[in-house]
Structure 1
Amino acid sequence: MRSPLVTITCSVFLVCLIGWLLVIGRALLLPFVIALIVWYMINALSHVFERVGAGGWRLPGYIAFPLALMTIFAVSTLVLDIVAANLAQLAQDAPTYQRRLEELFAQAAQIFDLEDTLELKDLMPESVVPRMVTAGAGLVTTLAGSASLVFIYVLFLLLEQSTFDRKFERLFRTPDQARSAFAIRAAINRSIMHYFTIKTAVSVATGVLTSLLLILIGLPYATLFGFIAFLLNYIPTIGSLIGVIFPSLLALVYYDSLPPFIAIAAGLGVIQFAIGNLIEPKLMGANLNLSGLVIMLSLAFWGAIWGVVGMVLCVPLTVMIVIVCARFESTRPVAVLLSETGDVVPETPVKTPL
């Protein structure tokens, strides 16, 4: 019988090895992970379209699937074009906003009677604002450039998805093992579908309300900030905070008075608080069953490994780990520690690994 110390040591070594492989294989894995997300979205949207109909008639699958594919492609192209155009314009205007920020520092020094005027270069390197905006534009360009590789991955996933179930079933030696594996996959699919459906709906609402508020007040780049708010809403906790800070800082240097800045900061704060703390928890319910501390640790871990993509995927990946660990007696304590209430998977756990 193996010593518990040997088991723990081997487990820690395996986790470290997997983490190391995820880091060094980031350039190869990220496009494939993005392709998996797109593939999943296409199939999910196709199922939604198949429910469209009147009476007993429903939209056929051979129409719903291409329609979902074209919808995802059209929306992605439109969003990338709008964001790229806004970032390019913001990169041109950044020096003006930087000079305005330096003027505000000078005014603050006069108000507080400071001997040495605080300058922007004291807080950050010179011309960092234009470089940050240019880096953002470069990121969008990089994503657009890797779109061809993502498209190839998605194409092969779509072509081979009809054989996935048959291959998955033949991985296991007995029908009981196969049924258990399919049950785990179904539980993971239900949780992730629930999470992404609710999260996408509230993220779209957040982005639209952010854009409308900024348009109403007259702040430029309202569409860009709406998209940023939509994207950052997928990042737990800190995403909503960053979504308020960016447009508020621009309002501070764009307007000559404080009321617009206060209105934007307060308005966006109310939107983020109402959606993130009142509406989203009601819609999400207790389906995820994740500890808040675990979510923050997962955010830090996956963010360190895969950057923004890892932050967006931290919750679904952790949900998958909890569901899989809860089905086996040897790993059930891990699922209990990661869960919010300690109640995980009412079904009888599997005694032996698949």
Structure 2
Amino acid sequence: MRSPLLSITLTVFLVSMIGWLLVVGRSLLLPFIIAVIVWYMINALSNVYKRVGYGKWHVPGFVAFPLALLTIFGVSTFVLDIVTVNLSQLAQDAPTYQARLEQLFDQVTKLFKLHDPIELQDLLPDSVVPRMVTAGASVVTALAGSASLVFIYVLFLVLEQSTFDRKFEKLFASPERAAAAFAIREEINASIMHYFTIKTAVSVATGALTSLVLILIGLPYAALFGFIAFVLNYIPTIGSLIGVLFPSLLAIVYYDTLGPFVAIAAGLGLIQFSVGNLIEPRLMGANLNLSGLVIMLSLALWGAIWGVVGMVLCVPLTVMIVIVCSKIEAARPVAVLLSENGEIGDLPTAAKVDTTAS
């Protein structure tokens, strides 16, 4: 029988090794993780298409799945093209905006009669604006470059998904353990589907409203900022703040008056507040049962490991950890600590997973 100290040591060592592998293998794992997300979205959209019908007739599966596949890749290609064009144009205009920002600093210095003038390089590194835009363009270019690898991964996932259940069942020594594992998988799938469905719908609405406000006010790159708001809405707490900050800062250097800046900051702030604090909580409910502190720690952890992709995935990954730990008797204290109120439900006999299962 192993001593508690040995068990703790082995657990810490295992967690450290897994974390190290996640960081070191980032370039290899991220395309596969993105492919899994795309594959998951294709299946989810396919299920939505299957519900479409008239009377007793519904869209058959052999039509719904290819239609979902074409929809996902078509929308992704269209959005990526728009974002690339906007970023390229913004990269060309960045020196102009930086010069305008330096003029604003000069005006503030004269207005307050400061002896030591405020300069851009005092606050930010030299040529930071063009470099930030160039970095954003590089990220999009890298995503486009890895699109072929992601497509290959998705293709193999689609071709082999019919064997996943059979392989999963063979991992367990008895039908009871297999049934319990399938029950856990269904619960994880339902929670993640609930989260992603609502979060995606809310993010699309946020991005569309952001673009609409910027178009009405006349700020350029409305489509780009709408896409940024869509992506950042998946990142808890700080995502909505950054989504308001970027277009507001551009408004300061683009317009000669502060009126458009105030209108954009107020309009986008109202959108983020309404969506994030009024609409989304009502739609999301209490299904996730995650502590706010845990979400912030998870955001920092996965952001450090996988960057923006990790920030987007931090909530689903934490939900998976809570559900799995709640079904393993020895790991239930972990689920209790990660939950919002400590209520993770009883452990039914049919759902117990023996940690010694082979």
| TM-score, normalized by the shorter chain, greater than 0.5 | yes
Contact 2:195 2:284 in 1 (8 A): yes
Contact 1:26 1:306 in 2 (8 A): yes
Residues in 1 aligned to 2:189 and 2:16: alpha-carbon distance in whole angstroms: 27
Listed one character per residue, the Cα deviations across residues 223-255 of structure 1 (whole Å, up to 9, x for unaligned) are 000000000000000000000000000001101
Residues in 1 aligned to 2:248 and 2:269: alpha-carbon distance in whole angstroms: 10
Residues in 2 aligned to 1:139 and 1:214: alpha-carbon distance in whole angstroms: 24
Q: CA deviation at 1:352?
A: 2.1
Give the corresponding residue for 2:102: 102
1:278 matches 2:281: no
- 1:350 maps to a residue whose letter is K
Give the corresponding residue for 1:31: 31
Residues in 2 aligned to 1:201 and 1:128: alpha-carbon distance in whole angstroms: 34
Residues in 2 aligned to 1:31 and 1:252: alpha-carbon distance in whole angstroms: 37
1:217 matches 2:186: no
Give the corresponding residue for 2:171: 171
Bigger Cα displacement from structure 2, 341-350 vs 221-230? 341-350
Q: CA deviation at 1:262?
A: 0.4
User: Is the alpha carbon distance of 1:114 and 1:323 closer, same or farther for their aligned partners in structure 2, counting shifts above 3 Å?
Assistant: same
Give the corresponding residue for 1:66: 66
Aligned-partner SS, 2:78: helix
Residues in 2 aligned to 1:345 and 1:167: alpha-carbon distance in whole angstroms: 29
- 2:49 maps to a residue whose letter is F
Residues in 1 aligned to 2:353 and 2:324: alpha-carbon distance in whole angstroms: 13
Q: CA deviation at 1:351?
A: 6.0
Q: CA deviation at 1:63?
A: 0.6
Listed one character per residue, the Cα deviations across residues 253-278 of structure 1 (whole Å, up to 9, x for unaligned) are 10100111001001100000000011
Identity %: 76
Give the corresponding residue for 1:350: 352
Residues in 2 aligned to 1:351 and 1:78: alpha-carbon distance in whole angstroms: 45
- 1:311 maps to a residue whose letter is M
Aligned-partner SS, 1:109: helix
Q: CA deviation at 1:2?
A: 2.5
Residues in 1 aligned to 2:188 and 2:151: alpha-carbon distance in whole angstroms: 25
- 2:17 maps to a residue whose letter is L
Give the corresponding residue for 1:240: 240
Q: CA deviation at 1:13?
A: 1.3
Q: CA deviation at 1:7?
A: 1.7
Give the corresponding residue for 2:199: 199
Give the corresponding residue for 1:307: 307
Q: CA deviation at 1:124?
A: 1.5
- 2:231 maps to a residue whose letter is L
- 2:184 maps to a residue whose letter is I
User: Is the alpha carbon distance of 1:347 and 1:56 closer, same or farther for their aligned partners in structure 2, counting shifts above 3 Å?
Assistant: farther
Residues in 1 aligned to 2:121 and 2:45: alpha-carbon distance in whole angstroms: 48
Aligned Cα root-mean-square deviation (Å): 0.9
In the TM superposition, structure 1's runs of 4+ consecutive aligned residues that sit over 6 Å from their partners are: none
Bigger Cα displacement from structure 2, 269-278 vs 10-19? 10-19
- 1:137 maps to a residue whose letter is A
Unaligned residue ranges in structure 2 (runs of 5+) = none
1:88 matches 2:76: no
Aligned-partner SS, 2:118: coil
Q: CA deviation at 1:9?
A: 1.8
Q: CA deviation at 1:121?
A: 1.0
Contact 1:327 1:345 in 2 (8 A): no
Bigger Cα displacement from structure 2, 231-240 vs 118-127? 118-127
Q: CA deviation at 1:138?
A: 1.1
Listed one character per residue, the Cα deviations across residues 288-332 of structure 1 (whole Å, up to 9, x for unaligned) are 000000000000000000000000000000000000000111100
Residues in 2 aligned to 1:15 and 1:94: alpha-carbon distance in whole angstroms: 43
Give the structure-2-normalised TM-score: 0.98
Residues in 2 aligned to 1:342 and 1:116: alpha-carbon distance in whole angstroms: 55
Unaligned residue ranges in structure 1 (runs of 5+) = none
Residues in 2 aligned to 1:167 and 1:345: alpha-carbon distance in whole angstroms: 29
Give the corresponding residue for 1:77: 77
Give the corresponding residue for 1:111: 111
Contact 1:323 1:345 in 2 (8 A): no
1:295 matches 2:295: yes
- 2:148 maps to a residue whose letter is S
- 1:284 maps to a residue whose letter is M
Contact 1:31 1:149 in 2 (8 A): yes
